């Protein structure tokens, strides 16, 4: 008998049709290898549903977060709105488009394990270190220092600009984009404006004159108005389509480079030496030619700043707000009435004016760097509050800021200029300045670290690691 014939004699289909019972019985299960396998292998029957006494999977986060001591600055509703914030960028200039090619390459040099906030923070340390080095050799910002120090400042500023531009690209590259990253980025930008002021004042040797405050105020005002406008319109505009942040930074790079090669003295000659036509203008315009170049360059800067400020106010009050902010979800708890909209500008501009008054004091002539940085940190503090309010769709407590940030500065300036006396309780100028600085730093550092800690716990992420 062949193998094929033997196979044909085997009636296997009939044998299975006669005993269908085994098909109905469930197949034997393999013994679970672990407790997790055992749980997954259980049949889904009504008895397997969790009872009411089982662990509560829907326990709200807020009570746990409050109990852990997370809420330093922001309440739960503010954190919830901040956690759902989305970025809406404005337009770009031609220079931004060209620089983006370099930034796209630069971000590929970073390791994928590097957190975006760490990129920003490293840039902050680099530029702050360069400014500290310049301030150490030129504490009154009126002395000619070694050319390599100007180049170090230029390099530090350029590296911060690059790191600031690629931190967002690193976040998208690693899939770690978050509101915390945006908040950390803009908070660092608000502080760096003071550092850039040190670069400019030292290169131009503005020293203890009001030009030191005016130069930094012009830079600061552009950044502040961009944040204030975003609060009302939902869009961050750092340019008007032709001139913006990048153009201003490269103008500063060119200035620092010229100082490194030709010295600060090259900027301390009358404007008519470079532009003879100015002297031929009718009086009193011809007197502009007598201005030193380092002073004359601030006038076009002031004109551009005023133009951007007017454009921002027009967009906020009349155009963009009505187009972008339509629903209650988009408005949140923001204040859009005209009184509060204009009142939000009061603390910042009050501090600008108080900065000029500080320069008139003997203490500023003695140690300008301390008072300059205290003034700058005060402006950064309020700007950071505007950024947080914008991202969390909250109201801007500008009367509180006017009282706790601007008022101490005003009192210090008044006391240093002998506008009032404490009688028998008069204190030294040093005690006045250090008391103001201590109060300012305590508030500023608590606010910055508190906001970062609150949002970090809300999102369940770390600030400096992935």
Position 273 scores a pLDDT of 85
Domain membership of residue 33 (yes or no) is no
Half-sphere exposure of 136 (CA within 13 A, CB side): 8
Q: Is position 157 annotated as part of the catalytic site?
A: no
Q: Is the full-model pTM beyond 0.85?
A: no
Place of tokens 């292998």: 41
Half-sphere exposure of 64 (CA within 13 A, CB side): 7
* Active-site pick, 88, 157, 186, 295: 186
Position 46 scores a pLDDT of 46
Contact 134, 202 (CB under 8 A): yes
Position 33 scores a pLDDT of 45
The region of weakest confidence among 111-125, 403-417, 420-434 is 420-434
Tallying the residues shown for the chain, one arrives at 466
Q: Is the pLDDT of residue 45 over 50?
A: no
**Residue-number span of the structural domain to which 129 is assigned:** 72-459
End-to-end CA distance of the chain, in Å?
73
* Tally of structural domains, the chain: 1
- Residue 415, token pair as written in the block: 């006391």
- Residue 245, token pair as written in the block: 């942040």
Rounded-to-integer distance, Cα 430 and Cα 386, Å: 31
- Residue 356, token pair as written in the block: 């000029």
Position 90 scores a pLDDT of 66
CA distances 145 to 161, 294, 424, Å, are 24, 17, 44
Rounded-to-integer distance, Cα 212 and Cα 197, Å: 8
Q: What helix, strand, coil percent values describe the chain, rounded to 5?
A: 70, 0, 30
Contact 160, 126 (CB under 8 A): yes
**Contact residues for 12 (Cβ-Cβ < 8 A; gap 6+):** none
Provide mean pLDDT across the span 408-428.
89
CATH number of the domain to which 427 belongs: 1.20.120.1760
Domain membership of residue 87 (yes or no) is yes
Position 4 scores a pLDDT of 43
Q: Is the pLDDT of residue 436 over 80?
A: yes
Domain membership of residue 355 (yes or no) is yes
Place of tokens 């360069």: 130
CA angle 86, 64, 75 (to 5 degrees): 45
Q: pLDDT band at residue 167, thresholds of 50, 70 and 90?
A: very high
Q: Is the pLDDT of residue 325 over 70?
A: no
**291-303 burial code (b ≥16 CB/10 A, e <16):** bebbbbbbeebee
**324-362 burial code (b ≥16 CB/10 A, e <16):** ebeeeeeebebbeeeeebeebeebbebbbebbebbbebe
Give bridge partners of residue 42 from the DSSP assignment. Answer: none
Provide mean pLDDT across the span 57-63.
37
26-30: long-range contacts, CB 8 A cutoff, minimum separation 24:
none
Q: Is the pLDDT of residue 319 over 70?
A: no
Rounded-to-integer distance, Cα 212 and Cα 205, Å: 9
Closest CA to 236 of 390, 52, 400: 390
Contact 182, 394 (CB under 8 A): no
Rounded-to-integer distance, Cα 94 and Cα 83, Å: 33
What's the CA dihedral at 107, 112, 116, 119 to 10 degrees?
A: -60
The region of weakest confidence among 40-44, 62-66, 79-83 is 62-66
Domain membership of residue 19 (yes or no) is no
Domain membership of residue 43 (yes or no) is no
Q: Is the pLDDT of residue 49 over 70?
A: no
Does residue 418 come out as left (phi exceeding 0), alpha (psi in the -120 to 50 range) or beta?
Answer: left
Q: pLDDT digit string (tens) for 193-218? A: 999 999 999 999 999 999 999 999 98
**Contact residues for 169 (Cβ-Cβ < 8 A; gap 6+):** 103, 104, 107
Domain membership of residue 181 (yes or no) is yes
CA distances 180 to 67, 79, 164, 388, 451, Å, are 22, 11, 15, 10, 9
Domain membership of residue 221 (yes or no) is yes
Provide mean pLDDT across the span 116-129.
96
Domain membership of residue 41 (yes or no) is no
Rounded-to-integer distance, Cα 363 and Cα 418, Å: 11
Half-sphere exposure of 78 (CA within 13 A, CB side): 17
Q: pLDDT digit string (tens) for 71-81? A: 899 989 899 99
Rounded-to-integer distance, Cα 81 and Cα 88, Å: 16
Rounded-to-integer distance, Cα 277 and Cα 197, Å: 31
Q: Is the pLDDT of residue 15 over 70?
A: no
Mean pLDDT for all residues in the chain: 83
């Amino acid at each position: 008998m062949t193998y094929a014939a033997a196979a044909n004699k085997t009636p296997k289909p009939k044998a299975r049709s006669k005993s269908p019972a085994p098909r109905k019985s469930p197949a034997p299960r393999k013994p679970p290898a672990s407790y997790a396998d055992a749980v997954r292998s259980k049949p889904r029957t009504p008895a397997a549903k969790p009872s009411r006494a089982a662990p509560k999977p829907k326990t709200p986060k807020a009570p746990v977060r409050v109990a852990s001591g997370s809420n330093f600055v922001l309440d739960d509703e503010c954190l919830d709105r901040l956690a759902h914030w989305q970025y809406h960028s404005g337009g770009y200039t031609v220079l931004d488009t060209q620089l983006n090619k370099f930034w796209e390459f630069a971000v590929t040099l970073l390791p994928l394990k590097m957190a975006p906030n760490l990129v920003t923070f490293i840039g902050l340390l680099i530029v702050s270190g360069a400014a500290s080095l310049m301030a150490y050799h030129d504490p009154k910002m009126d002395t000619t220092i070694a050319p390599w120090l100007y180049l170090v400042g230029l390099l530090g500023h350029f590296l911060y600009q690059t790191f600031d531009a690629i931190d967002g690209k690193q976040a998208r590259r690693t899939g770690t984009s978050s509101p915390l990253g945006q908040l950390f980025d803009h908070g660092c930008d608000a502080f760096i404006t003071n550092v850039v002021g040190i670069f400019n004042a030292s290169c131009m040797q503005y020293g203890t004159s009001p030009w030191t405050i005016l130069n930094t105020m012009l830079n600061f005002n552009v950044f502040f108005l961009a944040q204030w406008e975003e609060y009302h319109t939902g869009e961050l505009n750092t340019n008007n389509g032709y001139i913006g942040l990048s153009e201003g930074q490269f103008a500063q790079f060119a200035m620092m480079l010229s100082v490194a090669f030709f010295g600060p003295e090259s900027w301390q000659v009358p404007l008519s030496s470079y532009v003879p036509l100015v002297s031929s203008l009718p009086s009193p315009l011809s007197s502009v030619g007598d201005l030193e170049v380092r002073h004359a360059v601030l006038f076009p800067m002031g004109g551009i700043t005023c133009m951007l400020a007017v454009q921002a106010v027009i967009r906020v009050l009349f155009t963009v707000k009505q187009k972008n902010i339509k629903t209650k979800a988009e408005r949140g708890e923001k204040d859009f009435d005209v009184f509060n909209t204009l009142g939000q500008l009061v603390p910042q501009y009050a501090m600008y004016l108080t900065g000029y008054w500080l320069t008139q004091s003997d203490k500023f002539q003695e140690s300008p760097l301390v008072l300059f940085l205290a003034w700058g940190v005060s402006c950064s503090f309020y700007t950071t509050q505007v950024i947080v309010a914008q991202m969390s769709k909250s109201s801007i407590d500008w009367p509180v800021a006017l009282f706790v940030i601007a008022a101490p500065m005003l009192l210090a300036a008044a006391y240093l200029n002998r506008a009032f006396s404490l009688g028998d309780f008069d204190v030294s100028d040093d005690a006045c300045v250090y008391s103001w600085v201590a109060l300012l730093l305590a508030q500023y550092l608590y606010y910055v670290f508190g906001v970062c800690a609150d949002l970090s716990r809300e999102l369940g992420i770390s600030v400096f690691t992935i």
